[in-house]
Amino acid sequence: MAGPLLETKLHVPRGRRGLVARPRLSERLSRGAESTLTLVSAPAGFGKTTLLTEWLAGAPAEGRSAAWLSLDRRDNDPALFWSYLVAALQAASAGVGAGALLLLQSSQTPIEAVLATLLNDLSASSDDVVLVLDDYHVIDARDVQDGMAFLLEHLPPQMHLVIASRADPTLPLSRLRGRGELVEIRAADLRFTPDEAAAYLNEVMGLVLTAQDVAALEGRTEGWIAALQLAALSMQGRADIAGFIAGFAGDDRYIIDYLVEEVLQRQPDNVRSFLLKTSILSRLSGPLCDAVTGQDGGKPMLEALDRGNLFLIQLDDRRQWYRYQHLFGDVLRAHLLDEQPDLVHELHLRASNWYERNGERSEAIRHTLAAEDFERAADLVELAIPAMRRSRQEATVRGWLEALPGEVVQVRPVLIVGYAGALLLGGELEGVEARLEDAERWLDTTTGNHVGPEASSAGMVVVDDEEFRALPGTIALYRAALALAGGDVPGTVRHAQRALELSPEGDLRRASASGLLGLAYWTSGDLEEGHRAYADCMAGLRRVGHVADTFGCAIALADIRRRQGRLGDAMHTYEQALQLASEQGGSVLRGTADMYVGISEIHRERNDLPTATQYLLRSQELGEHLGLPQNPYRWRVAMARIREAEGDLGAALDLLNEAERLYVSDFFPNVRPVPAWRARVWVEQGALGEALGWARERGLSVDDDLSYLREFEHITLVRVLLAQPRAERVEGSIDEATQLLDRLLQAAEEGGRTGSVIEILVLQALAHQTQGDLPAALGSLERALTLAEPEGYVRVFADEGAPMAILLRAAARVAPGEQKGIARDDVRRLLAAVDKTEDSPPVSQGLPEDRQGLVEPLSKRELEVLRLLGTDLDGPDIARELVVSLNTVRTHTKNIYAKLGVNNRRAAVRRAEQLDLLSRTRDR
């Protein structure tokens, strides 16, 4: 993107000699520099650029840095517009926008993310910057306008925007006006007053006019500066000024046309010819003009025209590039079109050839299209596509392809596929497959190598060999993306694998194919393959330098490792990704926020809640623009689980509800849906009605076929079943739950999903406990502990509360060596965690070790409930008696049964009498 074009767009025009001082306008501009936006809105030729140039020359004195961007039609491509805008700002305030440029290179970053990063840089900068956007009226692309509106809304106080346009731009002007943040300079302000006109004509242009003359001119032109300039030029050196003025004032003709003709008539033939021929150019340089006119002497001609004040504007400091003042150029073109219409196409072609030879392909294409030489334009577009794809200028490519006639594109498979890609990237899936098939038809006619740039016998045209050879791989890749978008996982795998076979090493398409493959494998539960493919994708992206996109891969890689029970590896993945990004230098990259959330979740599982919370706060501080699309929802789930661990179930539910609202799929498989998380909190609260409702809604049953995608939901279903109190349980449903657990265990083990295996074993242990089978419970627990200990899992045990504490104590009592694999230290550590979670401290009345004769003594509250269990009162009555909710009673009852080692009310009362627990409570 560097080079002469960039330089001319950013060049702050130099002040012209010979100008009328306009202090009233300069003052207004200086005042405007205190507000958000200054709008200079007036038709062409009203002196906007000149005024701003003059004013900017004084900017350093006022302590401001000036940035300038001259816009043209091509800047409607957001990739170009924002890159140029950042480049312009960097010229004024070094170091600003480095991060924004990086984000622009990342795929499909929403523009708000880029702008937020840029705005942060600007806010942090100590420079006071004025940015002028000249010729803003050429911008009509909706997304660019939206981005500008966002920028204006969040502009920091040190930055001021000036927009020069021929029409009021589509921006929230009335809002800015209402808030006093808009300063306007309009046509009425810009017109020369009679005094200013007099000063210009007599003092600056050296004419000697009477007051009447000036009045006549001023009246006819109405202060239109361009017209006065042309008139002055016409009058210089003219003998009969009075005659000219009379004729001019009495004429109805379009002023500019009249005056330009006057000026043209007085030029020597060679000058006139030069002016007309070069009028087709948007920028002029000596060599370019020579190529177009077919003659020498372009450079001295331009310098002469500039000296003669003939509406040439310098575009750089080296007198290399100029442009015509717009009105003047337009009139010249109209003359050319009228006098030599047949020459126009030829001139455009000469310009195109020069640009092509000098490495400016986009300009070459523009001129070729203007010349309507569509074959040649198509050739150039084909050659331009790879570079355009790398710099993400899809909008530009699409514009070109749509400007070409259908029959030209149809015989060029590279262009057909290019268009399919542009549609795909724009989210328009409709026409993509049809075009891929069109392209394939050409590929089928040329088995093996094709025949170079000449058309093959089938009429096909190929100009870029390399792109052509890569077409089968590109087509496969696009088909994989289509399959993914359509939810066809096997199809995605098939096409992505084919794309891998067909794409060369070190090509971005290869990395993209790996990414799609990873996603497809993961979705179908093949975790190890998925991990491998994602790792390939990440390596491929690094090789090509697309660091900003590697975070998406890191999330997938870490998620997979966590499913596989490898917390340490997952943590390493997050840390490595952050390390890689920081090596880029400059600002923070999008996706950093997601890494912090992942790290937080691992700390949470390892029961370091303060650190887990800290990481979530750090993630939040980064701001939404530094998170990938799923981050808002993931953050809230992570926070909900921390709150859950702290015992604040209400807060957890609120967060989960928010998470549900914010959920977006971003193509990742929804393996742990929010409603399932919510159901788990309900279970903990004892809100079993809601939890059962969820299971019903999701159509979950113990007889379902198992699949990776529903594993989490099925495990949640088991929790719901196990939580049902004895009295309400359907006969044998515990058995159903344990059967489902067995099946889930087998599936998880087969799939290598150790993370799930641990949780299933924990539930199995609890289920056995409920059935009163302590040895079996300890057996499952031992297996879970063996798997969990190396990775530091804590909460998967601690979250189960009192029943788990009982089992852990029992496990601790086993003599070392008798049951291998459970170190007493680990169990004690887990117990400490569980005890902290328990909010009802055990009653301590100085009883001997086996207090109450129980492994785990009952709390005061539980004893109260137990006493009432010994009466005829039913659940609701007990609740009323104790002035608590029915759910609370159920929770206490569940814990009582666990502690007493029973599973029904009668048995509980019997055991309580055996242990003489009921008599004690009567002494309250």
Partner 1 sequence: MRTNGPYEIRLKGHLDSRWAGWFDGLTITNENDGTTLIQGSVVDQAALYGLLQKIRDMGLPLVSITQVEPDQPDVPTTDPR
Nearer to partner 1, 339 or 430 (CB): 339
Find where tokens 């040190």 sit: 158
- Span of 112-120, 255-263, 272-280, 746-754 interacting with partner 1 by CB under 8 A: 255-263
CB 182 within 8 A of CB 37: yes
Nearer to partner 1, 335 or 680 (CB): 335
Rounded-to-integer distance, Cα 780 and Cα 677, Å: 24
C-alpha dist (Å) from residue 132 to 185, 198, 324: 14, 30, 20
Asked if residue 255 binds partner 1 (CB under 8 A), the reply is yes
* Least Cβ distance, residue 69 to partner 1 (angstroms): 20
Asked if residue 253 binds partner 1 (CB under 8 A), the reply is yes
Nearer to partner 1, 263 or 496 (CB): 263
CB 718 within 8 A of CB 700: no
Rounded-to-integer distance, Cα 203 and Cα 200, Å: 6
Asked if residue 731 binds partner 1 (CB under 8 A), the reply is no
Exactly one of 68, 224, 400, 478 binds partner 1 (CB under 8 A); which one? 224
Rounded-to-integer distance, Cα 199 and Cα 194, Å: 9
Residues 6+ apart with CB under 8 A from 419: 398, 401, 409, 435
Nearer to partner 1, 209 or 226 (CB): 226
Nearer to partner 1, 55 or 328 (CB): 328
Longest Cα–Cα distance in the chain: 131
Nearer to partner 1, 183 or 336 (CB): 336
Residues 655-714 that bind partner 1 (CB under 8 A): none
- Span of 211-219, 248-256, 634-642, 882-890 interacting with partner 1 by CB under 8 A: 248-256
Rounded-to-integer distance, Cα 673 and Cα 633, Å: 11
Residues 6+ apart with CB under 8 A from 59: 65, 66, 130
Residues 778-837 that bind partner 1 (CB under 8 A): none
Find where tokens 């346009």 sit: 165
* Least Cβ distance, residue 338 to partner 1 (angstroms): 4
Asked if residue 531 binds partner 1 (CB under 8 A), the reply is no
- Span of 28-36, 41-49, 273-281, 629-637 interacting with partner 1 by CB under 8 A: 41-49
- Span of 43-51, 602-610, 680-688, 726-734 interacting with partner 1 by CB under 8 A: 43-51
Asked if residue 226 binds partner 1 (CB under 8 A), the reply is yes
Residues 6+ apart with CB under 8 A from 147: 78, 81, 82, 111, 112, 115
- Span of 15-23, 247-255, 513-521, 702-710 interacting with partner 1 by CB under 8 A: 247-255
Amino acid code (one letter) for 428: E
Rounded-to-integer distance, Cα 108 and Cα 394, Å: 11
* Least Cβ distance, residue 279 to partner 1 (angstroms): 12
CB 792 within 8 A of CB 770: no
* Least Cβ distance, residue 166 to partner 1 (angstroms): 6
Rounded-to-integer distance, Cα 75 and Cα 322, Å: 19
- Span of 38-46, 49-57, 121-129, 657-665 interacting with partner 1 by CB under 8 A: 38-46
The sheet carrying 129-134 orders its strands as 65-70, 129-134, 159-165, 37-41, 182-186
Phi, psi values for residue 427, rounded to 5°: 80, 10
* Least Cβ distance, residue 255 to partner 1 (angstroms): 7
Nearer to partner 1, 39 or 866 (CB): 39
Rounded-to-integer distance, Cα 849 and Cα 912, Å: 18
Exactly one of 228, 256, 302, 762 binds partner 1 (CB under 8 A); which one? 256
Asked if residue 43 binds partner 1 (CB under 8 A), the reply is yes
Nearer to partner 1, 327 or 688 (CB): 327
* Least Cβ distance, residue 325 to partner 1 (angstroms): 12
* Least Cβ distance, residue 139 to partner 1 (angstroms): 13
Kind of pairing between the strands at 312-314 and 322-324: antiparallel
Give the helix/strand (H/E) hosting 257.
helix 255-265
Amino acid code (one letter) for 17: R
Nearer to partner 1, 70 or 497 (CB): 70
Rounded-to-integer distance, Cα 714 and Cα 203, Å: 90
Asked if residue 45 binds partner 1 (CB under 8 A), the reply is yes
Read off the DSSP letter of residue 284: B
Asked if residue 230 binds partner 1 (CB under 8 A), the reply is no
Question: Would you say how long the chain is, in residues?
Answer: 924
* Least Cβ distance, residue 330 to partner 1 (angstroms): 6
Number of neighbours of residue 222 by Cβ within 10 angstroms: 12
* Least Cβ distance, residue 81 to partner 1 (angstroms): 19
Nearer to partner 1, 167 or 451 (CB): 167
Give the three-state DSSP class for 743. helix
* Least Cβ distance, residue 276 to partner 1 (angstroms): 12
Count of chain residues binding partner 1 (CB under 8 A): 23
Nearer to partner 1, 45 or 525 (CB): 45
Residues 6+ apart with CB under 8 A from 759: 715, 796
Nearer to partner 1, 65 or 325 (CB): 325
* Least Cβ distance, residue 168 to partner 1 (angstroms): 12
* Least Cβ distance, residue 336 to partner 1 (angstroms): 9
Residues 280-339 that bind partner 1 (CB under 8 A): 326-327, 330, 333-335, 337-338
Nearer to partner 1, 399 or 586 (CB): 399
* Least Cβ distance, residue 366 to partner 1 (angstroms): 17
Nearer to partner 1, 264 or 622 (CB): 264
**Smallest Cα–Cα separation from 640: which of 671, 623, 619, 616?**
616
Residues 6+ apart with CB under 8 A from 797: 762, 784, 788, 804, 808, 830, 833, 834
Asked if residue 440 binds partner 1 (CB under 8 A), the reply is no
**Smallest Cα–Cα separation from 115: which of 72, 145, 84, 86?**
86
Nearer to partner 1, 255 or 305 (CB): 255
Rounded-to-integer distance, Cα 270 and Cα 428, Å: 52
* Least Cβ distance, residue 713 to partner 1 (angstroms): 51
- Span of 40-48, 388-396, 456-464, 878-886 interacting with partner 1 by CB under 8 A: 40-48
* Least Cβ distance, residue 137 to partner 1 (angstroms): 8
Give the helix/strand (H/E) hosting 185.
strand 182-186
Asked if residue 561 binds partner 1 (CB under 8 A), the reply is no
* Least Cβ distance, residue 377 to partner 1 (angstroms): 20
Residues 141-170 that bind partner 1 (CB under 8 A): 166-167
**Smallest Cα–Cα separation from 80: which of 384, 362, 283, 415?**
362
* Least Cβ distance, residue 354 to partner 1 (angstroms): 25
Give the helix/strand (H/E) hosting 134.
strand 129-134
* Least Cβ distance, residue 259 to partner 1 (angstroms): 12
Nearer to partner 1, 63 or 341 (CB): 341
Number of neighbours of residue 845 by Cβ within 10 angstroms: 8
Nearer to partner 1, 252 or 703 (CB): 252
CB 489 within 8 A of CB 523: yes
Asked if residue 341 binds partner 1 (CB under 8 A), the reply is yes
Give the helix/strand (H/E) hosting 711.
helix 711-723
Site residues for partner 1 per CB under 8 A: 43-45, 166-167, 224, 226, 252-257, 261, 326-327, 330, 333-335, 337-338, 341
